């Protein structure tokens, strides 16, 4: 997709996430890989009110080239896109239920979202690592995020929120939505007797078919 169309798509998808409450205020940020660098949402921007022409553009070395000042989470996005060469976009949200899980998951371990539904397995996969807490925008998080992103398409930042990659921007957004719904289901069903998750063979079958 040409850069101008990607800028428009980024603004439309970000607004759709904002309108449905997946981010509030100026929370969240999005990056997209381009042939000649990256697009990124500007720092302190509201995902519901982005302007295609003011989206930050960064070069292949992540230096700021044009548009507004990029998100403070540039290290986060760089770590994921470097770790996953097949990824074309990264979405970071503070969506409520995935963030709640990020407050429960062990730092440096895996979050326990059971494979309750096929689409969670198909869009997110087998693992959801939780990176230890860092201050938002702290460059020191980069090695830990890189390691987690090598192991999984999506990860949680402890006490902060989800970070989801996808082959394209739409795939990253869809996966972020799926993660939020899976987190919501996991919390709704927590401690409820008789909950049935998919079994290992069903998970393997999904990943072989759609993974």
Residues that bind ligand 13P in the complex, under the rule CB under 6 A: 26-29, 41, 43-44, 71-73, 92, 94, 136
Rounded to the nearest 10 degrees, the angle between the axes of helix 74-83 and helix 142-151 is 40
Neighbours of 138 (CB within 10 A): 13
Active site residue 180: no
* From 3, 107, 119, 133, the catalytic residue: 119
92, 161 in Cβ contact below 8 A?
Answer: yes
Active site residue 12: no
Cα 116 to chain centroid, rounded: 20
**Minimal distance in Å, beta carbon 93 to ligand 13P?**
8
Q: Which is nearer to ligand 13P, 9 or 29 (CB)?
A: 29
Q: Which is nearer to ligand 13P, 32 or 203 (CB)?
A: 32
**Minimal distance in Å, beta carbon 45 to ligand 13P?**
6
- By CB neighbour count within 10 A (0-12 exposed, 13-18 middle, 19+ buried), where does 58 fall? buried
**Minimal distance in Å, beta carbon 191 to ligand 13P?**
30
* From 22, 73, 134, 178, the catalytic residue: 73
Rounded distance, CA 154 to CA 44, Å?
23
Catalytic residues: 73, 119
């Amino acid at each position: 997709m040409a850069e101008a169309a990607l800028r428009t798509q980024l603004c439309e998808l970000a607004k759709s996430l904002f309108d449905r409450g997946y981010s509030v205020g100026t929370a969240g940020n999005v990056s997209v890989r381009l042939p000649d660098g990256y697009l990124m949402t500007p720092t302190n921007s509201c995902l519901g009110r982005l302007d295609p022409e003011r989206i930050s553009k960064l070069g292949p070395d992540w230096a700021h080239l044009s548009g507004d000042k990029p998100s403070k989470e540039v290290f986060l996005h760089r770590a994921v896109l470097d770790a996953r060469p097949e990824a074309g976009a990264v979405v970071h949200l503070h969506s409520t239920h995935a963030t709640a899980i990020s407050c429960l998951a062990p730092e440096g371990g895996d979050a326990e979202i059971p494979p309750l539904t096929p689409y969670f397995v198909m869009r997110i996969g087998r693992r959801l690592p939780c990176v230890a807490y860092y201050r938002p925008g702290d460059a020191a998080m980069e090695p830990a995020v890189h390691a987690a992103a090598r192991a999984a398409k999506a990860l949680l930042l402890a006490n902060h929120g989800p970070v989801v990659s996808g082959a394209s921007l739409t795939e990253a957004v869809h996966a972020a939505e799926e993660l939020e719904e899976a987190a919501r289901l996991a919390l709704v069903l927590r401690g409820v007797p008789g909950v049935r998750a998919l079994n290992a063979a069903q998970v393997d079958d999904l990943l072989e078919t759609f993974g």
